[in-house]
């Protein structure tokens, strides 16, 4: 490569770096502003923040998830609603890259270090925009007693053969008290399940109220 | 009438004895033609959900019991206090249940009245149909598009009569309005603008807590995903959550838009696109839109339906009715905060309400049909229309297909609001087109074992 070409490449790389740095700085500013709004004392400011969260996108997923556990229930709620806005915005037609970026951040929130309510909410977000890459991580939660029912329902909603395969595998590994649940999901997805009857019409709960 | 499966005296006494001890009733179908309840026989009913509106339905059905039209065999609720009150209300011989599925197992029960929160409607209606029960279902019919499809299929397969509680269609003035419009008095109608006051906000949020001892929170949630109890969810306030009640657009939209679809002759049709905007609550647990604007575009024939939740000071004023106009059927407008304006090429028409109170503008009430004018079906009353459906197999005025069509409008409006974008709808295929996320939201997985 000639000196001129090396200079050109270096200049281009520097320019890209500057551009990337500028974009990164703009993203950080948007996230900081969003989070400041979410934590504000005023419900109107908080609402304005979460309503505008959609366009901030993937960069705000983890900061918002962190605030979902805030002890102020209204701040926590604003963070949750902001996260949902991002999911609904990223899921729009023609926004494949944004959606993948958001899904990538969401699946990172499924780990044990996150509180159960956050992971439960994330499972439902993934039920709307989750892709093949998220299936394995969701399926891993079929063995988590706190989250398995939500994980099952999230897989049920993701329209891919991979989700059905994950449910089938989950059924094999499931303890007896959860097999019927997974069988329900498989049936809903059109899979015949033998030996695990549907119990939806079987009554179980008695009343203490007496007739006159 | 020849009765092919009439009981002989011994069987009757045995059954009567069982009724005293168990206390089950003789199913009406036993005394009538196979699969049909005799014209003069009582229909044996059970009530599922007996608080709030469900309690109102129980009191309404009691009047039909007193008139010799029905028996009330059972009441059911997941709130033990409400259940105890309902037992007192219904009187001796009525069996209480916590779990509605015990009711569905009883062969002596012909029909159920479902007055539970909206998120239970689809599941309980489908289960009831699968057990061969005729159904009166409180509106809106369903919470998701896929629930609606399952409900229509279940009613058809099991050949049960379903009446959905959009009772505006059965009101005396609804008949007058319908007749006035179909006779071209305002010309060709190209637009119907529904109006409604805002959905409430939760201005006093409270933290999650343990449910009260009388409430089975698990079963109240039923098909919904699990979440901790919060006092703001119930009773009654389920209406202000997108997942359960869906806000005013689903609660009252199921009334006002029901009238619009009926009077426009649009049952069985649907829009090609739906576009909604709205104002979200700034705090609290409720999440349905406070203010809202939804536009439904219909093609072939072309017309536009809008739903608007607006500030109260922007609502059209109620018609002032003179005392001499009032009678048993024509009453004062007591709920002027919602209704619809019909825009034709020769004039406009307005009605208020659309539910148990439906009030037509004076010009429709005073219109005398000329010779040769078209007439329309005049319901004998919403319950009576359902009883006819049970006994004759005739389609009810708010049958499940029509009710699901109206509920779909409400659902699509909310989906467009939630997603912040316009949705395209394929009526023939009953599905959203070209939006993967919205398509997934046509369905909501349900908690085990409370599923379709």
Angle at the Cα of B156 (from B155 to B162), degrees rounded to 5?
A: 35
The rounded average pLDDT for each run of 10 residues, N- to C-terminus, in chain B (452 residues) is 36 38 51 68 97 97 98 98 98 98 98 98 98 98 98 98 98 98 98 98 96 98 98 96 96 97 98 98 98 98 98 96 93 95 98 97 97 98 98 97 98 98 98 98 98 98
Is A12 contained in some domain? no
Is A20 contained in some domain? no
Is A9 contained in some domain? no
Sheet with strand B189-196: strands edge to edge: B358-360, B347-353, B338-344, B189-196, B303-309, B291-298, B273-279, B423-426, B431-433
Do B270 and B425 meet the contact criterion of CB atoms below 8 Å apart?
A: yes
Is A207 contained in some domain? no
Q: Which of B279, B423, B440, B441 to mutate to test the interface with A (most CBs of A within 10 A)?
A: B440
Q: Which of A200, A201, A208 to mutate to test the interface with B (most CBs of B within 10 A)?
A: A200
Provide the domain limits for residue A162: 132-189
Q: Are residues A76 and A166 in the same domain?
A: no
Backbone phi, then psi, for A72, in 5-degree steps?
Answer: -80, 115
Closest Cβ–Cβ partner in B99, B440, B447 for A157: B440
Residue A12: pLDDT band with limits 50, 70, 90: low
Q: Are residues A45 and A84 in the same domain?
A: yes
Half-sphere exposure of residue A34: CA atoms within 13 angstroms, side-chain side:
31
Q: Are residues A104 and A169 in the same domain?
A: no
Distance from CA of B395 to the nearest CA of A (A): 27
Please give the average per-residue pLDDT across A165-187, as a whole number: 98
Is A115 contained in some domain? yes
Is A206 contained in some domain? no
On whether any CB of chain A is under 8 Å from the CB of B450, the answer is: yes
Contacts of B127 in chain A (CB under 8 A): 200-201
Is A137 contained in some domain? yes
Q: Are residues A116 and A155 in the same domain?
A: no
Q: Are residues A78 and A161 in the same domain?
A: no
Q: Which residues pair with B432 in a beta bridge?
A: B425
On whether any CB of chain B is under 8 Å from the CB of A157, the answer is: yes
Backbone phi, then psi, for A177, in 5-degree steps?
Answer: -75, 0
From A130, A154, A169, the end of a domain falls on: A130
Beta-carbon contacts below 8 Å between A and B: 128
Instruction: Report the residue of chain A nearest B79, measured CA to CA.
Output: A207
Q: Are residues A153 and A75 in the same domain?
A: no
Q: Are residues A40 and A99 in the same domain?
A: yes
Q: Are residues A90 and A108 in the same domain?
A: yes
The helix, strand and coil proportions of chain B, stated in percent and rounded to the nearest 5, come to 35, 20, 45
Task: State what percent of residues in chain A have pLDDT above 90.
Answer: 87
Is A110 contained in some domain? yes
How many domains does chain A divide into? 2
Q: Are residues A174 and A126 in the same domain?
A: no
Q: Are residues A147 and A70 in the same domain?
A: no
pLDDT score of A15: 63
Give the CATH number of the domain where residue A106 resides: 1.25.10.10
pTM above 0.90, yes or no: yes
Q: Are residues A33 and A122 in the same domain?
A: yes
Distance from CA of B383 to the nearest CA of A (A): 26
Compare A91 and B27 and report the one with higher pLDDT: A91
From A130, A149, A165, the end of a domain falls on: A130
Structural domains present in chain B: 9-167 (3.40.50.720), 169-378+400-440 (3.30.360.10)
pLDDT score of B36: 76
CA distance B81 to B144: 30
Query: Which ipTM score applies to this complex?
Result: 0.91
Please give the average per-residue pLDDT across A88-100, as a whole number: 98
Q: Are residues A160 and A93 in the same domain?
A: no
Cis peptide before B390 (omega within 30 of 0): no
């Amino acid at each position: 490569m000639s000196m001129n070409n090396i200079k050109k490449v270096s200049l281009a790389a520097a320019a890209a770096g500057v551009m990337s740095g500028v974009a990164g700085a703009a993203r950080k500013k948007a996230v900081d502003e969003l989070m400041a709004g979410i934590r504000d004392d005023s419900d109107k400011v908080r609402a304005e923040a979460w309503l505008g969260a959609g366009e901030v996108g993937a960069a705000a997923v983890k900061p918002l998830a962190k605030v979902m556990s805030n002890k102020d229930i209204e701040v926590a709620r604003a963070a949750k609603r902001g996260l949902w806005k991002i999911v609904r915005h990223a899921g729009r037609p023609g926004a494949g890259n944004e959606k993948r970026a958001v899904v990538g951040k969401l699946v990172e929130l499924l780990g044990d270090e996150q509180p159960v309510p956050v992971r439960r909410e994330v499972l439902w977000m993934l039920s709307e925009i989750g892709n093949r890459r998220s299936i394995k991580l969701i399926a891993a939660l079929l063995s988590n007693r706190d989250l398995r029912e939500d994980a099952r329902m999230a897989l049920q909603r993701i329209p891919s053969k991979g989700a059905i395969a994950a449910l089938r595998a989950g059924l094999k590994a499931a303890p007896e008290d959860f097999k019927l649940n997974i069988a329900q999901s498989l049936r809903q997805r059109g899979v015949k399940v033998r030996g695990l009857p549907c119990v939806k019409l079987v009554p179980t709960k008695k009343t203490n109220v007496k007739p006159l | 009438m020849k009765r092919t499966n009439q009981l002989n005296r011994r069987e009757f006494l045995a059954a009567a004895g069982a009724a005293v001890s168990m206390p089950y009733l003789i199913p009406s179908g036993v005394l009538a033609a196979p699969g049909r309840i005799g014209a003069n026989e009582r229909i044996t009913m059970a009530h599922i959900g007996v608080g709030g509106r469900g309690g109102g339905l129980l009191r309404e059905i009691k009047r039909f019991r007193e008139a010799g039209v029905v028996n009330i065999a059972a009441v059911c609720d997941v709130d033990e206090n409400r259940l105890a009150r309902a037992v007192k209300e219904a009187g001796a011989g009525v069996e209480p249940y916590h779990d509605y599925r015990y009711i569905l197992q009883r062969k002596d029960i012909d029909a159920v009245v479902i007055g539970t929160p909206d998120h239970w409607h689809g599941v309980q209606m489908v289960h009831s149909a699968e057990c061969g029960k005729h159904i009166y279902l409180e509106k809106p019919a369903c919470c998701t598009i896929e629930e609606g499809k399952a409900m229509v299929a279940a009613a058809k397969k099991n050949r049960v009569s379903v009446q959905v509680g959009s009772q505006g269609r059965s009101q005396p003035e609804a008949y007058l309005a319908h007749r006035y419009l179909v006779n071209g008095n305002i010309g060709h109608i190209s637009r119907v603008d529904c109006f409604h006051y805002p959905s409430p906000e939760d201005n006093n949020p409270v933290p999650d807590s343990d449910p009260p001892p009388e409430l089975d929170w698990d079963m109240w949630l039923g098909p919904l995903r699990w979440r901790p109890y919060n006092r703001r969810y119930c009773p009654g306030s389920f209406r202000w959550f997108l997942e359960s009640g869906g806000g005013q657009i689903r609660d009252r939209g199921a009334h006002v838009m029901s009238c619009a679809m009926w009077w426009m002759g649009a049952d069985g049709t649907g829009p090609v696109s739906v576009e909604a905007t709205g104002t979200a609550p700034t705090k609290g647990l409720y999440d349905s839109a406070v203010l809202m604007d939804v536009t439904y575009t219909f093609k072939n024939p072309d017309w536009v339906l809008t739903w608007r939740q607006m500030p109260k000071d922007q609502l059209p004023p109620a018609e002032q009715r003179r005392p001499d106009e009032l009678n048993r059927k024509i009453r004062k407008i007591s709920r002027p905060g919602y209704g619809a304006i019909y825009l034709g090429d020769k004039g406009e028409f307005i009605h208020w309400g659309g539910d148990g109170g439906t009030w037509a503008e004076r010009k429709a009430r005073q219109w005398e049909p000329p010779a040769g004018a078209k007439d329309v079906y005049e319901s004998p009353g919403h319950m009576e229309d359902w009883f006819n459906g049970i006994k004759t197999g005739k389609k009810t005025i708010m049958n499940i297909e029509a009710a699901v069509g109206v509920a779909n409008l409400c659902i699509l409006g909310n989906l467009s609001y939630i997603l912040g974008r316009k949705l395209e709808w394929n009526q023939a295929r009953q599905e959203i087109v070209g939006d993967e996320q919205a398509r997934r939201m046509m369905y909501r997985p349900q908690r085990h074992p409370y599923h379709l």
